[in-house]
Amino acid sequence: MAIIEWKKDGTVAVMTMNTSENRHNPDFTRAILGAFDEIEADEGISSVVITSSDAKNWSLGIDVVWISGAIERGETQAVKDFTYGLGDIFTRILQFPMPVIASINGHAFGDGTIMACACDFRFMKADRGYFCFPEVDINIPFLPSMLAIIMKAIPPYKLQEMVCTGKKSSAKELEESHVIVKACENAEALLAEAIAFARTFTKGRWIFGENKKRMYKHIIEIIEKEDPAFIEKPMQW
């Protein structure tokens, strides 16, 4: 089974992450960027929904086993290249010329949560799964762009709580804080509602893409101009 697969449902591309935890590593980066390229090449698509084939996890973020192994082997450049690759994923979503909707059908932790925040809209199932930034508990600070991405999706009072405490948030409280559009009853209702919402977007790609470029210009500039200083000198993290 491919790491990332997608299928066309009318005007909606349903992208499915296919590993048990959908951890981010170089293979994941290549797969998701390739999927976005294929989707954009299909002129009949006007929106994207990202889901997971795993019933428990949407994405648990960075592949700690891979990155720890790379560090132990002294593969410094590979780690740097991967970190730049994360910025490529965020940039692709932020500038994608159509709405990208996270259908969060399981846990979203760490970098997985940041990817969800990069999406334009989020839906989440209410019966299982948490949305969490555990970085404070494992002593890993965010890159500047990661904080900027979180700030676009989460209101300040909720952001401070989540970033500073590492608290696991449920779908219901995220709905109340307007972090997600809706807390859906179960996985089936979640995907159905996310796709139905995605189908409501019939605007042209140009206008949607142009508005996103202007709304998120400051985040792209942070990715390009501020993140490299921290990536090139990892001890600053």
Q: What is the pLDDT of residue 191?
A: 98
pTM to 2 decimal places: 0.95
Tell me how far apart the alpha carbons of residues 66 and 72 are, in angstroms, rounded to a whole number: 10
Q: What is the pLDDT of residue 235?
A: 47
Tell me how far apart the alpha carbons of residues 25 and 39 are, in angstroms, rounded to a whole number: 21
Residue-wise pLDDT for 60-81, tens only, equals 999 999 999 999 999 999 999 9
Q: Give the pLDDT mean for 5-12.
A: 97
Q: What is the pLDDT of residue 84?
A: 97
Residue-wise pLDDT for 163-213, tens only, equals 999 999 999 999 999 999 999 999 999 999 999 999 999 889 999 999 999
* Of 139 and 196, the one with more pLDDT: 196
What percentage of the chain exceeds 70 in pLDDT? 98
The residue ranges of every structural domain in the chain are 4-236
What is the C-alpha end-to-end distance of the chain, expressed in Å?
Answer: 35
- Tell me phi and psi for residue 148, to 5 degrees: -65, -40
Residue among 22, 13, 14, 17 at smallest CA distance from 4:
17
Residue among 41, 34, 4, 40 at smallest CA distance from 19:
4
Separation in Å, CA 1 to CA 82, 164, 191: 23, 38, 21
Q: What is the pLDDT of residue 114?
A: 98
Q: pLDDT band at 234, cuts 50/70/90? A: low
Domain with residues 4-236, CATH architecture: Alpha-Beta Complex (3.90)
Is residue 233 predicted with pLDDT exceeding 90?
no
Helices (H), the chain: 26-41, 64-72, 76-95, 111-118, 135-138, 144-153, 156-165, 171-176, 187-199, 205-215, 217-225, 227-232
Is residue 39 predicted with pLDDT exceeding 60?
yes
- Local structure of 16: helix, strand or coil: strand
Q: Determine the angle formed by the axes of helices 144-153 and 111-118, rounding to 10 degrees.
A: 60
48, β-bridge pairs: 13, 100
Tell how strand 121-125 and strand 100-104 pair up.
parallel
Q: What is the pLDDT of residue 236?
A: 45
Q: What is the pLDDT of residue 203?
A: 87
